[in-house]
Every structure is written in C-alpha cells, then in structure tokens.
C-alpha cells in the first residue's frame, strides 16, 4: 500500500504573482520535509498549479500536510487529495510515470474536497479516498481520518497566519517562550493566541500521528 497526494492551489488564477506563489509553496514544502522527513517522494510541481507526492503510510501524509497548511501564508491556500492503494508506475524510455489505483483515488479525493468547499464544508481542504478493492479495515480507517481532517481544517482555516506559525512551532516541540522570542511578542500573547485558536487539539493530534510514524 502507498499513500499518494495531489495538491491543488486554490483560486490560483486570482493570485497576483503565480510564479512567486509556486516558489513560496516549494520553500514551505522543503522546510516541512526537513522538519518531518517522512515523504518517499516529496511534493513536487507537475503541471499548472498542481503538485504530487508519495508517503509510506496515511499518518505520515496527514502529519506532513498539517505542517504544510500551518506554514502557508495568508495569500496561498491549497487543497489536498489523498489516495490510499497500490501504485503501478509505468516505465517509459527516459522516465517513470506514476500510475495505479492510489493515484486514481487521490484524483477522486481532490475533486471531492473541491465540491465540498462549494457546498457543505467551505473550509474543507483535505480529503482521503481508498482505492477500489481496498479491504474494509482500510475503508473504515479512511472514514475516521476524513472525520478528523474535516475538524482540523476548520480550526486551521480560522487561524491567523501568526497563529498558524505558533501552532506549527508547538507541533515541532518549540516552547512558548522560544516562540515568543521568534515572533517578538510576549509569552502571554503566545499562550492566549494558541488557546483562543484551539491549537492544543491540533498539537496533540500531530503528536499522535507522529508517534505512529515512528512506530
């Protein structure tokens, strides 16, 4: 089983500088990969405003994507389609093309989250789909994971850019005092911002995901 991710920049055509946004997104991903090196194939730009990557396990992908969301600036927003299943790459003369049920599922997932944004869940940014033929245990796992990502996306979407940075720092083990020094604000301001945003739940959830990643 492989977990693949398709990333799509939200409303990319309305960005003032699309090339700058792509560069900033690449910088964010590189930093996340350095902080949490779990990707088997780092998220990489492919065509247009889309990126693709692979992870060994679902909790690896979900932990990494949370850090990406938290690190994005206010003017860049992304949606994430996660597919769980088999990958069957096609070998061509000079390259290998990713293919297989996991990729089809990821495409289905990114299209599903885009539809959800337009209707029932405007702050949804992440959706997971199991490939056709996956066993019932995996289907159940995906259902539970989707319930989690809907809730966490709601929290992240309501945060300011600074609060997202503070939350990411807490996920990565920075103390409130260290974060206050980095931001040039008081420790009390850090504590208040994190508490008001519900960051503790995200930080604890990240800890659960990364404990699994180290198992």
Which residues neighbour 191 within 8 Å (Cβ) at sequence distance 6 or greater? 176
* pLDDT of amino acid 100: 87
* pLDDT of amino acid 10: 84
* pLDDT of amino acid 16: 67
* pLDDT of amino acid 212: 52
Which residues neighbour 139 within 8 Å (Cβ) at sequence distance 6 or greater? 130
Dist. CA 159–CA 77, nearest whole Å = 13
Which residues neighbour 173 within 8 Å (Cβ) at sequence distance 6 or greater? none
Encoded tokens for 156: 């992240």
- Confidence label for 215 from pLDDT (cuts 50, 70 and 90): very low
Q: How far is CA 13 from CA 110, 156, 186, in A?
A: 18, 23, 38
78-96 pLDDT, tens digit per residue, is 999 999 999 877 666 666 6
Dist. CA 39–CA 213, nearest whole Å = 11
Collapsing DSSP to helix, strand or coil, 7 comes out as strand
Q: How many residues does the chain have?
A: 215
Contact (CB, 8 A) for 83 and 104: yes
Q: Domains (ranges, CATH) in the chain?
A: 2-158 (3.30.70.270), 160-215 (no CATH)
pLDDT of residue 189 exceeding 50, the answer is yes
Q: Is the pTM above the cut of 0.75?
A: yes
133-162 pLDDT, tens digit per residue, is 888 999 999 999 999 999 999 999 999 999
Query: Hunting for tokens 């932990």 — which residue is that?
Result: 63
- Confidence label for 214 from pLDDT (cuts 50, 70 and 90): very low
Which residue stretches of the chain are H helix? 18-35, 58-71, 101-118, 136-157, 161-171, 176-183, 187-197, 199-213
């Amino acid at each position: 089983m492989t977990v693949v991710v398709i990333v799509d920049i939200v409303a990319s055509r309305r960005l003032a500088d699309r090339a700058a946004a792509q560069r900033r997104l690449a910088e964010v991903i590189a930093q996340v990969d350095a902080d949490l090196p779990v990707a088997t194939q780092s998220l990489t730009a492919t065509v247009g405003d889309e990126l693709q990557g692979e992870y060994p396990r679902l909790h690896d992908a979900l932990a990494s994507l949370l850090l990406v969301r938290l690190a994005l600036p206010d003017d860049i927003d992304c949606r994430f389609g996660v597919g769980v299943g088999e990958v069957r790459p096609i070998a061509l003369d000079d390259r290998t093309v990713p293919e297989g049920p996991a990729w089809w599922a990821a495409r289905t997932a990114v299209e599903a989250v885009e539809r959800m944004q337009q209707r029932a869940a405007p702050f949804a940014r992440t959706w997971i789909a199991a490939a056709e033929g996956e066993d019932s245990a995996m289907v159940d796992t995906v259902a539970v994971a989707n319930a989690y990502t809907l809730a966490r996306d709601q929290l992240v979407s309501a945060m300011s850019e600074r609060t997202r940075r503070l939350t990411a720092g807490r996920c990565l083990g920075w103390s409130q005092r260290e974060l206050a020094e980095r931001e040039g604000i008081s420790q009390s301001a850090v504590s208040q911002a994190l508490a008001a945003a519900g960051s503790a739940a995200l930080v604890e959830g990240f800890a659960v995901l990364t404990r699994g990643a180290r198992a």
